[in-house]
Structure 1
Amino acid sequence: MASYHIAVDIGGTFTDVVIQNTNDGTLWTAKTPSTPQDLASGFMSGVQNAIAQASADPSDIQRIFHGTTIATNAVIERTPSEIGLLTTRGFKYVLEIGRHDIPRRQNIYAWVKPERPVPPNRIFEISERLDRTGSTLIALNEDECREAARQLRDDGVEAVAVCFLYSYANPTHEERAAEILREELPGVQIALSSEVLPQFREFERTVATVLNAYVMPRVGRYLSGLESAAKRHGLDAPLFIMKSNGGVTSADMAARQAIHTVLSGPVAGVMGATQIADVAESPSFISVDVGGTSADICLVRDGEPEMTVERSIGGLPLQIPMLDIVTIGAGGGSIARPLAAGGLSVGPESAGADPGPVCYNQGGTIPTVTDARLVLGHLPPHLLGGEMPLDVDAARKAIQDEIATPLGLELAEAASGIVEIADNNMAGAMRAVSIGRGLDPKDFALLAFGGAGPMHACALASLLGMQSVIVPPTPGVLSTYGLLFTDLRNDYVQTFVHSGETPSIEEITTVYSRLESQSWDWLNSEGVSRDVGQVTRSADLRYEHQGWEITVDMPDGPITEATVDHLIANFHDLHNRLYTYNLPQAKVELVNLRVSASGALPRHEMSTLSSANGRQPEPESHRPALFSRSVGYVDTPVYRRDTLLAGSELVGPAIVEQRDTTTLLAPGFGARVDSYGNLVITGME
C-alpha cells in the first residue's frame, strides 16, 4: 500500500506543495497562487492539486509538513492585539526603556523607536522577588495576580505574558502566577519567560515572552483552522510545523511556542538546499532563495547552516536559536521607481500576489523585476506550464512610461537597469554573510532556488567571483521540498554565569542533566525513542567583561575539568576565527548552557536521474533575450528542464524552463546535469 508525505510552503505570491511517495521516493509538485485573505483556502487548493497529480487518496497521507509566515507577519505588521504582561514590581517600563542605543546605519534624528507589542496600561506589577540564584527574597503576592487577571479579563485580552526577575533560575513564581491566570482567565493563552527564553538579560527575555504571547492566538487559530480544513477533506495525518532552528515540531507544540516559528518559511529552503548540496558534493555554499517578495540568504559550512541567537524582528531583539538568514526586499515582485535625483530604486516594496506585477494583468500598474525579465526575454509568455499567461505589452508600456521616459532611457536600458540593481542588492547581502565574517565567497558554491533565484544566479556568481552554481531539480519549490528532509528539533537553555578558572563541575552537570531530561521528555512526547533521538550540548562563553557571547559545542560524555578545559580551548579558537584575535590569558566565563534535542523522521532519499549516454539535448525553441546592454538581444536556445538527463551539457547563452522556475545560463557559463538532476553551472575559460 502506497503512503505519502506532503509539504506545503505558503509564500507571498505562490503556495508550493510537494508530495512524495515514501515507498519509492517519487515526487510531484504543485504551485498555486497564495490567498492572503484566507490562507487555508490556498493551502487546501495546492494540497488537493498535488494529491490528484500523485493519483493518491487523502487517507494515504501519513504526514503533513508546513512552513508558515504567520508569526513573522504578525511581528512585522504589529497589528493591534489584546495581550497583557505581569512583571516584577519596579520593572513595568523595561519594554519602554529597552536598550540605550539605536540600530546601526540609522539617522539618530529620524529613527523612531518601534512600537511595543503591549501598552503600559496592560502591564501589571506584582510584588515578588528572587535573587540571581533563584532564592526567594519576596514571596509571590497571589492577591495582586488575581486582581491583575480580573482587570485583564475586563479588557478582553487573548493572551498574557509573565516575566519575573530571575525566573530563569527558579520558575516557581511564574508557574504559580500562570495557575492563577488560568483560574481567572479560562481559555486565555499564557506565555512564561521561564519556558520561552530562560536566560538572562531582562529586556530581551521580556521581548521574547511578550512576542510569544502576541503571536500565540494568531498561530493557534491558524493551525487549528488548517487541521480542521484538512479533516474536512479527508486528511487525518499529523501536522508538523517548521521552526526557526531548522527542525520541525507538532502543531500543538508550535501553537504554544509560536515565536519559534518566526523564520519558519525561509528556514525550510536552507534545509532543502543542504540536502541538495550534500548529494552535489558541495557541503559549503551560500543559499539564495529569491521569491516574489524577498531574497533569503544563508551561509552553510561543511553541511551545517550558520546559527544565531542575535536577531532583530520588526525592530525588536529576538534571542531564540535560529538559522542565521539575511532577508532583503528583493524579489520578482520588487517594485522599480525613478528617483527625483535621476536614479532608479528597486524594492523593498513589492507588488506581492495581489495585484502582482503588471504583466499578471491583475491591476498592477507599477513595473517590477518580473516585468523587466519578461521584456528582456528571460521569461516565457506564460508561467506554471502555460496556466498563467503574461502580458508582455503591458510590461513594456509600464517600464516605458514609469521608468524609461522619466529617466531618458531606452526601454531595454531601463529593463536591464532594474535587473542589475536587484542583482547588486542581493550581492550586497551575500557579501554581508561571507566577507563581513572574514570569509571569501569564492570558497563557496552558490545554491540558487526559489521562483526567481535561478534567473539571478549567473549574475551573482560573476559579481562575487564564485566558481560554481547549483540549481536544484525543482528550485521553485525547494523550500517545500526541504520540509520533507527535516527532523524534529527543540532547544533548551539555562543561564549559568560562571568563571572558567574555577568551574563548578557538579553544578554544570546538574544543569545539563536537567536540560537533557527535559529534552528526552519532549522527544518521548513526540513519539521518538532513545535509539532514534539525539541530544547534544553547547555553551555560550565570553571573555570577562565582554558584552556578547559565542556558542561553542560541548563534548559528549561525563563532564570533567578536562571537558571544560577543552570547551574553553575551542572558545579561544572560535573567537580567533570570527574576530581574528583571542586572549588566551584572559578569564573566560560560562554564560548559558544549551541542549538541542532532535529526532529523525522517516524519509526517502533522493532518486537519481537516467543517463543521457552522451546524447546532447535539443532546444525546444529560440527567442531573443538580452544578457548585456553592450551586446543587445541575441537569439537564445530554450530548453525544457525535463528533457535534460544526467550528463547533459549546455553552453550559454541558454534558457532552461520548467513549471516552477526559469534558469538563465549567461554567456561565458556552461552547465552540466549531475546524477541527481542538479544543474551545475561553472564559468568557462
Structure 2
Amino acid sequence: MSVKNKFAAEIGGTFTDIILFQEENGKTQLKTLKVASTPSRPEEAVIEGADKLLKDWSNMSEMLHGSTVATNAVLERKGVPTALLVTEGFSDTLEILRGDKTNIYDLFYQRPEPVVPRNLVYAVHERMNADGQVLIPLEEAELRTIAGQLREQGVKSIGICFLHSYANAQHEMLAKKILEEEIPDGIVTASYEILPQFREYERTSTVAITAYIAPVMVRYIESLYRQLQERDFKGEIFITQSNGGVIPMDALRKEVARTLLSGPAAGVTGAVFMSKQVGIEDIITLDIGGTSADVCLINKGNPLVSTTNKIDGNAIAVPMLDIVTVGAGGGSIAWIDSGGMLQVGPQSAGADPGPACYCRGGTKPTLSDALAYRGLLRPDHFAGGNYKLDPELSKKVIGEIAQKMNVTSDEMAEAICRVMEANTMQAVRLASTERGYDARNYTMVAFGGAGALMAATIADELGMKRVLVPRYAGLLSSFGLLVADIIRDYVQTKVSLCVETSAEDLASQFGKMREKAEEDMCNYGFRKESLKFQYAVDARYQGQAFELQMDFDHIPTDSEEITQVFHETHHKRYGFNSPQNLVEIVNYRLKCTVPQNNDLLSGMKYEPIPGQSGSSVQKVLMGGQWRDCHFYTWNGLPVDSVLSGPAVIEDETSTCVVPLGWIAKLQHNGSIILEKEEN
C-alpha cells in the first residue's frame, strides 16, 4: 500500500489557512480549514488546525509551511540583538544607505533604522581589492578579542560582511570559523554564503537582516517541529521562500532571508498552477486577505522576479517574486483624515480584535463590515458557518462613521468598498502599466478570503474582461505550498566585458556554481539526477549604474548570444537600446530546482456534492440599491454551470461575487471564470 500525505499551513495576518492532502492507492482527498491566527505565538494556530484535521501523523511525509514570522520580526523590530563585522572604514554602511528618499517632498522624512545598531557594528582591520587580492591580512587575534566582547554583551547572532568578499571569501571564512569556535551557541551568518554579490550596502543590509531574524525563525520552526514530533511526525518540514519555491528545514539557517514575504509568494505559485489547468498563462494575481492586497504579474506562466527589494526601508537583495503590496484587506479600517476624506487602511484590525462583525471586540468599521452590511457576507455561511459573524455590529460601526460624514449608512458601506477598490487598482497598475504591460491583455486571478468578492468590479474598472477564481481560492497560498518546487538560487559577481569573455569563461563560471548547487542539494538529501538548472546573466552597457537580468534555459553558447539578448531586453524594458555600446557582464545567476510530482493534484476533478445545488434569493446592496441576488453553494454547482449576475457563490473559505453584467462559468477543475457580458 502506497501512502503519501502532505500538510500545508500558511499563516496570514487574520487567518491561518490549512490544507491536508492524503493519497492512498491512487485515490486523493483534500481537507481544508481556516483558523484564527495567533500573532503572539503563531505556531499555536498551526497546531490547532493540525489537531482538528489529523489524528495520526505517523504516515505524514511532508509538512509545508509559510508564515509572516520573519517579516513581522523585521517590521516590529522583534529580532535578537545582533552584531555585524565589517571592513575597517565601512562601519556606517547601514546608516548611509543609498541616499534616496521614499517621498522626496516629505520635509520630515527620516531614514529607516537599521536592524543592527551602530554600537554593535565592529570594524575589522582587513582588506581585499575588487579582484580578490589581499591588501591587508586578517589577524586572528583581533577576531578572538571581538568574540570575547560579544560574549560579554550576550550577543548570539553575528553577521559578517567584508569588502569584496564576493571576489575572495578567504577572510570571511576564517572569521566565521573563529566566531563559531568562540561562541558555539551562536548563529554566524557570512555574506559569501548567502549573497556573493557586489554592491556593498545591499549585501551588508541583507546579511544584517538575515542575522537579525535567523534565531527567531530557527527557534520558531524548531518549536513547531518538536510539537509535531510529539504527535509522531517523522517526515520533513519545508519552508516556503519569497521566490515561490520551498527549502528543507535544514537549509533555514543560511536561507532565512529568503523566507521574507513567503506567504504571498506561495499564493502566486498556486495561482500559476490553477491557471495552467484551464489553459491560461498570462495572468495578474490579486490576493486580498485580512490585512493586505498583493499583486503579481505573470507572463507565460513565469512570474516577474526582483532582486532589488526592501522591507521596512531596508534593502534585501535575494530573489523575490515581484509582488506589489498595499494595505487593503478585509480587516482594513475605514477612517476620516484631517481633510475630511474617507480612507481605508493601511491600518488593520488584524486577527484580534478583528472587524466588528467578527464578535471579538472590534469597534472600528472595516472592509469586512462593509461587505457584511451589504449582505455579501452571510452569518450562517461565512467560513462554512464555522466562524461567528454578526452584521448588526457592522451596521452599528458603519452608521457611526456615516453620521460623522453626514451620509447614509448605505452610501458609507459602498464608499468604503470603492475606496478599497481604488487602492487595489493602484497596485495593479504599479505591477503592470507602470512596467510596460497592458493589464487588459491579462486575466485577473483572484484569491484570498476577499479577492473574489472584489475582483470583477476591480477588473471592470481596469478594462479587464476576464477573472479566474481558482478552486480553494480562500486557501490558495496553502495550496501553492502543496505544488511548489524545491528551489535554491545562486549568484556570483564577476565583472567582464562581453567581448573579453569567452565561451570557456561562461562554462567555467556556471560549472562552479552547478558544483556548489549539487553539493548543497545532495547534503539536503536530494539526488543529483533529480536537479534541473536555469541560467541567468545580469548585464549592462559599460558605464551604466544598474543592470538587467536575462534568463536562459542553457548555458549561453558565447558572449555574442548574451550581447544580442541584452540589446533586445533593454529595448523591451526601456523602449530603446544602443547596439554601438559595449555590454558588460556583472553577475552570474543559477536557479536549481527539484521539480515536484503534481500529477495527482493536476488530475483531481471537480465533483459536486449531492443535495447542495439549489439557490436562495436575498437582498444585497449593489450600485446604490438593494437588489435581489441569487446565492449558490460552490461545491454544489453542477458541472459546466453558467450563472448570470448579480449572484454570490459561497465556499467554506471564500465568497465570489458576480456583478450585474458578468457571467460565471464553472470549469472542469472546480475553478470559476467570470467574464464581462458583451453589450
- What TM-score comes out, normalization by structure 2 length? 0.97
Shift of residue 519 of structure 1? 0.9
**Counterpart mapping for 1:140-289 below 5 A:** 140-289=138-287
How far apart in 2 are the matches of 1:185 and 1:287?
45
How far apart in 2 are the matches of 1:625 and 1:469?
21
| Residue identity opposite 1:586 in structure 2 | N
Instruction: Work out whether 1:587 is the aligned partner of 2:608.
Output: no
**Counterpart mapping for 1:162-561 below 5 A:** 162-382=160-380, 383-401=382-400, 403-554=401-552, 556-557=554-555, 560=557
- What TM-score comes out, normalization by structure 1 length? 0.96
SS of residue matched to 1:567 = helix
SS of residue matched to 1:267 = helix
Contact 1:554 1:567 in 2 (8 A): no
How far apart in 2 are the matches of 1:207 and 1:288?
30
Shift of residue 498 of structure 1? 0.8
1:597 aligned residue: 592
Deviations 1:565-604 (A, max 9, x none): 1122111111111111111111111000111111123332
Give me the identity figure in percent. 36
How far apart in 2 are the matches of 1:427 and 1:239?
36
Deviations 1:301-341 (A, max 9, x none): 00001111011111011111111011110000000012232
Shift of residue 108 of structure 1? 4.0
How far apart in 2 are the matches of 1:670 and 1:411?
29
| Residue identity opposite 1:271 in structure 2 | T
Counterpart selection for 1:634 from 617, 627, 635? 627
Shift of residue 20 of structure 1? 1.2
Counterpart selection for 2:564 from 559, 564, 569? 569
Contact 1:130 1:136 in 2 (8 A): yes
Deviations 1:377-415 (A, max 9, x none): 1111142221222111111111111x2001011000000
Query: Could you list the runs of 5+ residues in structure 2 that have no partner in the other structure?
Result: none
How far apart in 2 are the matches of 1:616 and 1:156?
64
Deviations 1:628-679 (A, max 9, x none): 12xx010111000011132111000001111101110000000111111110
Deviations 1:50-69 (A, max 9, x none): 226xxxx2112111101111
Counterpart selection for 1:606 from 599, 602, 609? 602
1:67 aligned residue: 66
How far apart in 1 are the matches of 2:310 and 2:481?
24
Contact 2:270 2:476 in 1 (8 A): yes
| Residue identity opposite 2:216 in structure 1 | R
**Residues 23-32 or 599-608, more deviating:** 599-608
SS of residue matched to 1:272 = helix
Instruction: Work out whether 1:651 is the aligned partner of 2:650.
Output: no
Contact 2:159 2:190 in 1 (8 A): yes
Shift of residue 610 of structure 1? 5.4
Contact 1:308 1:321 in 2 (8 A): yes
1:3 aligned residue: 4
SS of residue matched to 2:228 = helix
1:47 aligned residue: 50
Deviations 1:177-224 (A, max 9, x none): 011101111111001011121110111110000110001010010010
How far apart in 1 are the matches of 2:345 and 2:614?
34
| Residue identity opposite 2:667 in structure 1 | D
Contact 2:487 2:594 in 1 (8 A): yes
Deviations 1:494-544 (A, max 9, x none): 101111222244443332111110111122123322332112211101111
SS of residue matched to 1:570 = helix
SS of residue matched to 1:389 = coil
Instruction: Work out whether 1:669 is the aligned partner of 2:665.
Output: no
Shift of residue 41 of structure 1? 1.3
SS of residue matched to 1:71 = helix
Deviations 1:551-577 (A, max 9, x none): 1024525x54xx221122111111111
SS of residue matched to 1:594 = strand
| Residue identity opposite 2:663 in structure 1 | G
How far apart in 1 are the matches of 2:592 and 2:262?
18
| Residue identity opposite 1:72 in structure 2 | T
**Counterpart mapping for 1:53-132 below 5 A:** 57-79=56-78, 81-103=80-102, 105-132=103-130
SS of residue matched to 2:426 = helix
How far apart in 2 are the matches of 1:368 and 1:108?
28
Shift of residue 608 of structure 1? 4.5
Contact 2:452 2:469 in 1 (8 A): yes
| Residue identity opposite 1:576 in structure 2 | H
Question: Aligned in 2, Cα 1:255/1:623: closer, same or farther, shift over 3 Å?
Answer: farther
Contact 1:223 1:255 in 2 (8 A): no
| Residue identity opposite 1:288 in structure 2 | L
1:31 aligned residue: 34
How far apart in 2 are the matches of 1:571 and 1:646?
48
Query: Could you list the runs of 5+ residues in structure 1 that have no partner in the other structure?
Result: none
How far apart in 1 are the matches of 2:231 and 2:186?
29
Shift of residue 611 of structure 1? 7.5
2:22 aligned residue: 21
Question: Aligned in 2, Cα 1:175/1:610: closer, same or farther, shift over 3 Å?
Answer: closer
How far apart in 1 are the matches of 2:135 and 2:321?
38
Shift of residue 80 of structure 1? 6.0
Question: Aligned in 2, Cα 1:80/1:40: closer, same or farther, shift over 3 Å?
Answer: closer
Question: Aligned in 2, Cα 1:642/1:575: closer, same or farther, shift over 3 Å?
Answer: same
How far apart in 2 are the matches of 1:255 and 1:641?
42
SS of residue matched to 1:605 = helix
Shift of residue 618 of structure 1? 5.2
Deviations 1:466-510 (A, max 9, x none): 111111111000100010111111011110111122224444333
Question: Aligned in 2, Cα 1:610/1:291: closer, same or farther, shift over 3 Å?
Answer: closer
**Residues 274-283 or 120-129, more deviating:** 120-129
Contact 1:334 1:351 in 2 (8 A): yes
SS of residue matched to 1:282 = coil
**Residues 27-36 or 475-484, more deviating:** 27-36
Shift of residue 96 of structure 1? 1.2
Deviations 1:221-272 (A, max 9, x none): 0010010011112222110000111111111212332111002111000000
How far apart in 1 are the matches of 2:6 and 2:611?
35
How far apart in 2 are the matches of 1:255 and 1:288?
31
How far apart in 2 are the matches of 1:555 and 1:656?
42
Contact 2:284 2:445 in 1 (8 A): yes
SS of residue matched to 2:668 = coil
Counterpart selection for 1:620 from 586, 599, 615? 615
SS of residue matched to 2:602 = coil
How far apart in 2 are the matches of 1:622 and 1:48?
37
Contact 1:25 1:606 in 2 (8 A): no
Contact 2:613 2:637 in 1 (8 A): no
How far apart in 2 are the matches of 1:616 and 1:665?
23
Contact 1:553 1:567 in 2 (8 A): no
